[in-house]
Amino acid sequence: MSEAALAKEAAALDAADGLAAKRAEFDLEDDCVYLDGNSLGALPRGVAGRLSDVVGREWGRLRIRSWEESGWWTAPERVGDRIGRLVGAAPGQVVAGDSTSVNVFKAVVAAIRLRDTGSRDEVLVDAATFPTDGYIARSTARMTGCRIRVVDAADMAREAGPRTAVALVNHVDYRTGRLHDLPAVTAAVRAAGARTVWDLCHSAGALPVHLDATGADFAVGCTYKYLNGGPGAPAFLYVRRALQGRFDSPLPGWNSHADPFAMDPAYAPADGAVRGRVGTPEILSLLALDAALDVWDGVDLAAVRAKSLALTDFFLRCVEAYVPRGRVESVTPEAHGERGGQVSLRCAAGPAGGAGDVMAELIRRGVVGDFRRPDILRFGFTPLYTRFADAERAARVLAEVLEGTRRQ
């Protein structure tokens, strides 16, 4: 198909896009092709004003009174419930705070402590996991006398057995964009008598997640990608309601105490999601995230998913039409049921250099994706602000870079 035909198709798809108006809620230049929302989401326009008020009025004038009068103290649960709606969790099961790494640690140790027998001494880890998850898992294994067994996420369901205490799985592979079967893996691990900890960093806000409906035990995720919370935004922790009374956090901070201001030297855990807190909440970044989540008000996750799949399908068609054969290869699954919200292309070295050089030139020409060593170009498609015209332009500029030309 010709460039003119694909550009015309992109315009028609954008005109029919039910989410198109959402782009105006983000601080993006009209000519910006930003395809790195799977690393850092774009800035929602409402965040700057909200932070100005938090700093100038709540902190600047109300000062200490804001813990009560401005609702700072309960912000982790309030923001957690807003995230919960986006990951299929009823209120009272998600708390916002700390980093993803810290929350992985809490969840994995807590899952091990829930085991029904000491013979469950095995932690299954997704072979393609994000490195931090693996680091944390190995540390928890050393601390708890468990052993790590690394398995492919696709094999996790059948690998769980009588020795398994917990399975730590990435819902979407950060490198390839492969979506793993959360319901099936959760059911199989549970049938084996073990617990699941799901890493939702690359799925929260990109596609519907049904934590309650699927019986997931624990889940963690960051909020600075598809949820647009900003660099270093607080992460979140999900603890299934049925487990909350037995959730034994390895980080029993004063904020998770049943009566924090009693300053009791003996720890007594609070009820509910509050038990997932540790120390004083990161108020500035937490309230920036709270404001960022306003863009999700009234948004149907099914519509987000439908547009995400349409965008990635269209981008792959454009790449096939524009890019010289053999120069790139998609490592993202074609099947919709196995695809997250990004497209990853393996890029062989050529006249334009290696994949890192290609991405640097794409960024210089106004198409922002990212590069993962040694040879992966990643393009994240964020349905709230990515246009079909962006997908077409990205594929066209990629072809130009690989050919060493600039088309007129």
345-380 pLDDT, tens per residue?
Answer: 999 888 889 999 999 999 999 999 999 999 999 999
d(CA 47, CA 228): 10
pLDDT string in tens for the chain (408-residue length): 899 999 999 999 999 999 999 999 999 999 999 999 999 999 999 999 999 999 999 999 999 999 999 999 999 999 999 999 999 999 999 999 999 999 999 999 999 999 998 899 999 999 999 999 999 999 999 999 999 999 999 999 999 999 999 999 999 999 999 999 999 999 999 999 999 999 999 999 999 999 999 999 999 999 999 999 999 999 999 999 999 999 999 999 999 999 999 999 999 999 999 999 999 999 999 999 999 999 999 999 999 999 999 999 999 999 999 999 999 999 999 999 999 999 999 998 888 899 999 999 999 999 999 999 999 999 999 999 999 999 999 999 999 999 986 544
What is the sign of the dihedral through the CA atoms of 328, 332, 336 and 340?
negative
CATH number for the 48-296 domain, one of 3.30.540.10, 3.40.640.10, 2.120.10.30, 3.40.50.300?
3.40.640.10
Q: Which amino acid is at 300?
A: D
State how far the alpha carbon of 212 is from the alpha carbons of 49, 66, 84, in Å. 34, 33, 10
The tokens describing 223, both together, are: 């909020």
The tokens describing 284, both together, are: 């500035």
This prediction's pTM: 0.97
Locus of tokens 């900003």: 230
d(CA 323, CA 401): 10
Domain ranges (residues) in the chain:
3-31+300-403, 48-296
Question: What is the edge-to-edge ordering of all strands in the sheet holding 147-151?
Answer: 94-96, 236-239, 218-221, 195-199, 164-170, 122-126, 147-151
pLDDT at residue 351, as a whole number: 86
Q: Residue 347: left if φ>0, alpha if ψ -120 to 50, beta else—which one? A: beta
The answer to whether 205 and 88 have CB atoms below 8 angstroms apart is no
The answer to whether 194 and 207 have CB atoms below 8 angstroms apart is no
pLDDT at residue 350, as a whole number: 87
Half-sphere exposure of 201 (CA within 13 A, CB side): 25
The tokens describing 84, both together, are: 């919960």
The catalytic site residues sit at: 130, 199, 224-225, 378
pLDDT at residue 408, as a whole number: 41
pLDDT at residue 109, as a whole number: 98
d(CA 219, CA 100): 10
The answer to whether 140 and 171 have CB atoms below 8 angstroms apart is no
CATH number for the 3-31+300-403 domain, one of 3.60.15.10, 2.10.60.10, 3.40.50.1370, 3.90.1150.10?
3.90.1150.10
d(CA 361, CA 397): 9
